[in-house]
Structure 1
């Protein structure tokens, strides 16, 4: 009796000791099997039966997909880092492959093109939250909601890194809205308003340390003020590639339509939009193509002027995420305050709107 048990156990052990160097049959999702060209699928299946092969290398490629032979220790995150430059884009690979994790020797399909430009699914749609900061402080606590302690900001950036968020530049957001890029599973944009000195002294070093981009909206009358940034500091940040300088108007004047319908209002809007753009171009040798409404106040007059001037996007301070089909001139932004805990910060990362769209 014991001899039979031992024989059976040894039989199972022999099955489990299958060589990891054998290429296993591809296990793509049903959707993926439908889109694979028969010839490509035949090549892959032939390779699966061809005996021992090296793993962790590229196997085949066509116009839509790269087929990668997973190695020991490979995950969708490591493969996304290798082919897309960011582990946070692993969801795009996971979506077309059947399993939660690739097996050594298994073929993994890596999409080369945009598969779902709208980000819309049967149960809802992906959104991109744009976070809005103002000032930073080296103090450990703050009595002003807009003064975010440096350590608190560091913990927020660490949370994004630890939880697989892909920080994209606001300047690239239109590419997602035009369908040229696919909205990642978890993406976020970082922005700062006004142009306080603490952006340079406190936030800028953290952007470099975490290797994340941010957009700084400045109102140009504040540049050179006691608490404001200088042009040389703005130039350094712009040239670093970590901070993109854009316009927040000339004097932080609301662009909402006044109750009295001032006849000079249209001219004031033009001045508030055109003057800082020209000055930023002159001082930093760059075109400012994104606008942040002072106080988040917009109007039809302001949007018309922005469109006429070739501004491609503008942002409010209305909380929420932005789907691919959002109005580019009324993009939502979520304010981050000093009294936000890491839990409330996480709740503000609105990356998917749940809705039955079947």
Structure 2
């Protein structure tokens, strides 16, 4: 009852149009794989665009605090995040960010640091960035596929192992940096409902790799981010995403990304507050299968379902719809993971 009253209140006071766009980067380099990279020239162009068009770049921790506490999020708020802690961030991205005075968050795993992988920053390098304002946050101990069970591992054993992994990583980050943000970026964007519940129990928030603006209608254990790399590194494409709005989702029938065995064409039903949207203009996309118009089940509930089986691995349903009052699109994305065998 309290939750439903809170949602109504947020709609009434306009939180449906308040959101932060969280950007996800990996490499900033011209010599690393394009699928996870932006070039230095592209990165500078993007940061210059943010500065010249009056975007407000905030630390992730501040945006999370605002969402948690139902506080106002200023229009044109953007968050910059980097996964993995590659050395190109310190060498190339940091000087550009410093030039513009933009804060950012680094999600790091401990094992690559300890193993001294050549492309990864070490603790000294990370500490130097932290002293200049970078947030250092959790990306698991060894960048594992968190939803995968080990051979012969029970559900209870698996979840205990993952919980220990995340808590041990957070403790190491706190020990070295003094920072304790309790923010986890899921490696590969993979998570499930059991992991979300574990994070919530331990006071963590979680960030995925499904697209969309993050706001008061987002789950704090599955905050969306826009990956910026490869075909998604183009500034013209990014401009549309920077103006995206937090889809006013009131409820959905499925939120767990991990598909049950044999359920490879999930039917997603979503209920929206439609006061600021044009329902007939909504369009959805099934990754790998193209555009698909939603089926409206009532005035404010629609469904979307893949025509073909979703492939093994990760995929998404994306839906967008223009705002009546704002110059932007509401954006919603549901991540899916189809297992390979019984242990994936």
In structure 2, do the counterparts of structure 1 residues 179 and 272 end up closer, same or farther at CA, with 3 Å as the change threshold? closer
Give the superposition deviation at 1:292: 0.7
State the 1:142 CA deviation. 6.5
> CA separation in 2, counterparts of 1:295 and 1:275?
20
Which residue of 2 is the match for residue 111 of structure 1?
none
Cα deviation code 1:163-205 (max 9, x no counterpart)? 1211111111133214464211211111110111111111111
Unpaired segments ≥5 residues, structure 2? 1-8, 248-272, 277-344
Aligned counterpart for 2:47 among listed residues 147, 153, 157: 157
Report what 1:344 is aligned to: 237
CA positional deviation for 1:338: 3.6
Against the structure 1 CA distance between its residues 157 and 330, is the aligned structure 2 distance closer, same or farther, given a 3 Å change threshold? same
Contact 1:136 1:198 in 2 (8 A): yes
1:142-153 alignment, distance < 5 Å: 144-153=34-43
Q: Structure 2 residue aligned with 1:300, among 188, 193, 196?
A: 193
Q: Deviations over 1:24-65 (max 9, x none)?
A: xxxxxxxxxxxxxxxxxxxxxxxxxxxxxxxxxxxxxxxxxx
Secondary structure of 1:200's partner?
A: helix
Q: 1:123 to 1:309 in 2, by over 3 A?
A: closer
More strand by share: 2
Cα 1:178–1:259 change in 2 (3 A) is: same
Note the C-alpha offset of 1:275: 1.4
Structure 2 CA distance for aligned equivalents of residues 257 and 143 of structure 1: 25
Instruction: Quote the residue 1:133 is aligned against.
Output: 25
In the superposition, relative to structure 1, how do residues 196 and 302 fare at CA in structure 2: closer, same or farther (>3 Å)?
same
CA pair 148-123 structure 1, distance change in 2 beyond 3 A: closer
Matches within 5 A, 1:239-278: 239-241=131-133, 243-256=134-147, 258=149, 262-263=153-154, 264-278=157-171
Q: How does 1:75-224 map to 2 (within 5 A)?
A: 118=10, 125-137=17-29, 139=30, 144-179=34-69, 181-223=71-113, 224=116
Distance, in Å, in 1 between the alignment partners of 2:141 and 2:68 is 29
Instruction: Tell me how far apart the structure 1 counterparts of residues 20 and 111 of structure 2 sit (CA, whole Å).
Output: 31
Q: How far apart are the structure 2 equivalents of 1:353 and 1:248? A: 25
Q: Verify the 8 A CA contact 2:23 2:80 in the aligned structure 1.
A: yes
Report the equivalent of 1:237. 129
Assess, with a 3 A threshold, how the Cα gap between structure 1 residues 259 and 143 changes in structure 2: closer, same or farther: closer
Flag the 1:159–1:219 CA change in 2: closer, same or farther, 3 A: same
Q: C-alpha separation between the residues in 2 aligned to 1:278 and 1:142?
A: 31
Q: Distance in 1 between matches of 2:161 and 2:15?
A: 45
> Highest Rg: 1 or 2?
1
1:280 aligns with 2:170: no
Are residues 121 and 346 of structure 1, via their aligned partners in 2, closer, same or farther at CA, if it must alter by over 3 Å?
A: farther
Contact 1:134 1:192 in 2 (8 A): yes
Q: Is the 8 A contact 2:150 2:158 kept in 1?
A: no
* Cα separation, 2, equivalents of 1:316 and 1:290: 11
Deviations 1:58-110 (A, max 9, x none): xxxxxxxxxxxxxxxxxxxxxxxxxxxxxxxxxxxxxxxxxxxxxxxxxxxxx
In 1, Cα distance between equivalents of 2:91 and 2:11:
37
Residue 207 of structure 1: how far off its partner (Å): 1.3
- CA distance in structure 2 between the aligned counterparts of 1:163 and 1:297, rounded to whole angstroms: 33
* TM-score with structure 1 setting the length: 0.61
RMSD: 2.6
Q: Following TM superposition, by how much is the alpha carbon of 1:274 offset from its aligned partner in structure 2, in angstroms? A: 1.3
Aligned partners of 1:119 and 1:126 also within 8 Å: no
Aligned twin of 1:58: none
TM, length-normalised to structure 2:
0.64
